[in-house]
């Protein structure tokens, strides 16, 4: 039995806990938390340590030793198993179903239940079944329940339980602890695609680190001219011209960030002249640290981001090597959303919860179809695109349950059939292109108009276009091309096609 109780939520339409479950739970090392369906969403967020959920469908779960049922389906609102599964995520879901109705049991299993149990079980029998379920290899999804100590979240402020995000959280927590008041802060460089949450991680480092009492000052290097970026960074045009302390920048972002964090977003977008100026300033600051008059508390922590490969940019002359070595002390690669598994659903619930709280609307649920759509979309825009898609869906949904059609992540053909790859448009002379894909999925080549065909290039272009049309979904692209998924995966890797999942 674990040293601390494992929190297991018991959802009953009447908000009650059956006597047999109340007696069996301590024997299993569980602490039952009775909730009504309306309260379930609050405990099922990533910030809570709920290990599993037991759901009574309102079929007399409280009946024990001849007592009357504690709840009846007709007296309370009972959400479907599908709705409960959408809220609970990947936690084990035990459904108390009416065992005399085989269709009810089948329905519960088909819509997300990990295990179904009858309402009227003696305490010892209930305990034995639950103990066996926790070690059974036959349940799908598995019935694994662990205490909070084994899976403690190192950074609850950042939503995510996937392995890549656990690594991110561990490093961020460690780096925040290194940033103590009065010490010289180490610079941080965050890599990652646009929308992966680099800015959120930077703010979390600020909130947890030794410079949290200072400001978090942001300079975005995108969509600004060189003069605008330099003015935003240095303020005083004399900044960085000499090694004297009086001539160091006192205005701009650098001046405002003293004692806090300077966040440079997309540092690769800095112009060469601005890069040189920043290098000179960082060198002068390093020299100043050697003087007796230096005050460590006035130092700022530098956090920079990029969505490109800086070493490759150095090789092509787009980025200065001396600036790179001054900003890349602590480096972290943010994983794209498509590699984070069930984090997509956790983030979706978190975003919808924030939206409901901000706009004073009823909480939203996500249907099983919407969960499937979220999990199988490539998300090229990552968390930012997910947020926008969910807000649009919440604004146009007719109920509090978001469905796949509300998300608008798929574009079916009007006829209900998957469209063929579109044929090329006619040339300027009105004649068709020399290579066309006919409606019967055959390729037609006009050899009177073309001298030679690049078969390998044609194959590469077809795969790339199919991947784009399928939004990075390899299974869908393979179906469109008539290939196996393994063959497509090999071709994607061979040709270096990006945007695949």
Shared domain for 198 and 307, answered yes or no, is: yes
Domain count across the chain: 4
Q: Does position 305 have pLDDT exceeding 80, yes or no?
A: yes
Q: What is the pLDDT of residue 294?
A: 65
Q: With respect to residue 28, please indicate whether it lies within any of the assigned structural domains.
A: yes
Q: How many residues does the structure list for the chain?
A: 501
* 352 and 308 part of one domain: no
Q: What is the pLDDT of residue 43?
A: 59
Q: Compute the distance between CA of residue 488 and CA of residue 471 in angstroms, rounded to an integer.
A: 14
Co-location of 343 and 318 in the same domain: no
- Please report how the helices 474-481 and 455-469 are oriented relative to each other, as an axis angle in degrees rounded to 10: 130
501 falls within a domain: no
What CATH number has the domain bearing residue 25? 3.40.50.2300
Domain boundary among 300, 333, 366: 333
pLDDT of residue 246: 41
Decide which of 244 and 159 is more confident.
Answer: 159
- Evaluate if residue 2 carries a pLDDT over 50: no
Domain that residue 484 falls in: 435-495
Q: What is the pLDDT of residues 244-256, one digit of tens each?
A: 444 455 678 998 9
Domain end call among 333, 359, 390: 333
Assigned domain for 428 exists: no
Asked if 58 and 44 touch (Cβ cutoff 8 Å), the reply is no
301 and 448 assigned to the same domain: no
Between the alpha carbon of residue 315 and those of residues 205, 276, 326, 353, 383, the distances in Å are: 30, 17, 17, 45, 31
Look up the CATH number of the domain holding residue 242.
3.40.50.300
Quick one: 230 and 279 in the same domain? yes
Q: Give me the phi and psi of 458, to 5 degrees please.
A: -65, -40
Q: State whether 226 and 314 are in the same domain.
A: yes
In a domain, 180, yes or no: yes
- Do 375 and 324 share a structural domain? no
Q: Residues 58-96: pLDDT tens digits?
A: 655 544 444 444 454 444 456 788 778 877 777 788 999
Domain check: are 439 and 354 in the same one? no
110 shares its domain with 244: no
Q: Are 341 and 329 within one domain?
A: no
Task: Give the lowest-confidence range in 182-191, 355-364, 373-382, 453-462.
Answer: 453-462
CATH code assigned at 364:
1.10.8.60
Residues 176 and 279 in one domain: yes
Please check whether residue 158 lies inside any domain of the structure.
Answer: no
Element (H, E) at 435: strand 435-437
CATH code of the domain containing 447:
1.10.10.60
Choose one of 303, 333, 363: the last residue of a domain. 333
pLDDT tens track for 320-341: 999 999 998 899 999 999 999 8
Q: Which helix (H) or strand (E) holds 11?
A: strand 6-11
User: The pTM is what?
Assistant: 0.57
Q: Is residue 467 part of a domain?
A: yes
Within-domain flag for 91: yes
Q: Model confidence at 423, in pLDDT bands (50, 70, 90)? A: very low
On whether both 375 and 462 belong to a single domain, the answer is no
Q: What is the mean pLDDT of the chain?
A: 78
Q: What angle do CA 436, 438, 442 make, to 5 degrees?
A: 95
Mean pLDDT to the nearest integer, 123-138 = 84
- Across residues 194-206, what is the average pLDDT? 94
Residue 123 binned pLDDT confidence (cut-offs 50, 70, 90): very high
Whether residue 54 is contained in a domain is answered as yes
Q: Is the pLDDT of residue 428 over 90?
A: no
């Amino acid at each position: 039995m674990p040293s601390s109780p494992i929190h297991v939520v018991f959802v009953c339409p009447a908000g009650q806990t059956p006597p047999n479950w109340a007696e069996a739970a301590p024997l299993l090392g569980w602490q039952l938390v009775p909730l009504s369906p309306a309260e379930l969403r609050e405990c099922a967020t990533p910030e809570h340590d709920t290990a599993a959920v037991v759901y009574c469908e309102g079929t007399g779960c409280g009946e024990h030793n001849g007592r009357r049922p504690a709840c009846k389906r007709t007296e309370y609102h009972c959400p479907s198993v599908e709705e409960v599964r959408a809220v609970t995520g990947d936690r084990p879901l035990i459904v108390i179903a009416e065992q005399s109705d085989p269709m009810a049991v089948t329905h519960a299993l088909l819509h997300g239940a990990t295990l179904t149990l009858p309402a009227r079980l003696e305490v010892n029998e209930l305990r034995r079944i639950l103990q066996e379920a926790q070690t059974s290899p036959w349940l799908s999804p598995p019935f694994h329940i662990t205490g909070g100590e084994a899976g403690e979240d190192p950074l609850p402020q950042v939503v995510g339980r996937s392995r890549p995000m656990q690594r991110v959280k561990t490093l961020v927590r460690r780096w925040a602890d290194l940033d103590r008041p009065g010490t010289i802060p180490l610079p941080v460089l965050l890599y990652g695609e646009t929308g992966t949450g680099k800015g959120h991680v930077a703010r979390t480092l600020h909130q947890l680190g030794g410079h949290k009492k200072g400001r978090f000052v942001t300079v975005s290097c995108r969509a600004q001219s060189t003069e605008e970026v330099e003015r935003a960074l240095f303020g005083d045009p004399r900044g960085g011209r000499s090694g004297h302390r009086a001539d160091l920048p006192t205005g701009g972002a650098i001046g405002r960030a003293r004692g806090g964090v300077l966040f440079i977003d997309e540092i690769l977008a800095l112009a060469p002249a601005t890069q040189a100026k920043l290098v000179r300033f960082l060198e002068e600051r390093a020299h100043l640290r050697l003087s007796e008059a230096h005050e460590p508390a006035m130092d700022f922590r530098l956090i920079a981001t990029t969505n490109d490969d800086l070493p490759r940019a150095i090789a092509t002359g787009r980025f200065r090597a001396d600036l790179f070595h001054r900003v890349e002390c602590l480096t972290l690669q943010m994983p794209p959303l498509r590699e984070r598994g069930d984090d997509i659903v956790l983030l979706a619930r978190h975003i919808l919860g924030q939206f409901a709280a901000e706009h004073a609307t009823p909480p939203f649920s996500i249907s099983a179809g919407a969960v499937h759509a979220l999990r199988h979309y490539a998300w090229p825009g990552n968390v930012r695109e997910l947020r926008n898609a969910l807000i649009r869906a919440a604004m146009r949904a007719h109920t509090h349950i978001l469905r796949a059609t509300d998300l608008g992540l798929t574009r079916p053909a009007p006829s209900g059939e998957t469209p063929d790859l579109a044929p090329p448009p006619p040339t300027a002379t009105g004649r068709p292109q020399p290579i066309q894909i006919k409606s019967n999925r055959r390729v037609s080549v006009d050899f009177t108009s073309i001298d030679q065909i690049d078969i390998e290039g044609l194959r590469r272009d077809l795969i790339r276009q199919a991947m784009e049309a399928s939004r990075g979904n390899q299974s869908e692209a393979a179906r469109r091309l008539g290939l196996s998924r393994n063959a497509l995966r090999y071709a994607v890797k061979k040709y270096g096609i990006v945007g695949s999942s």
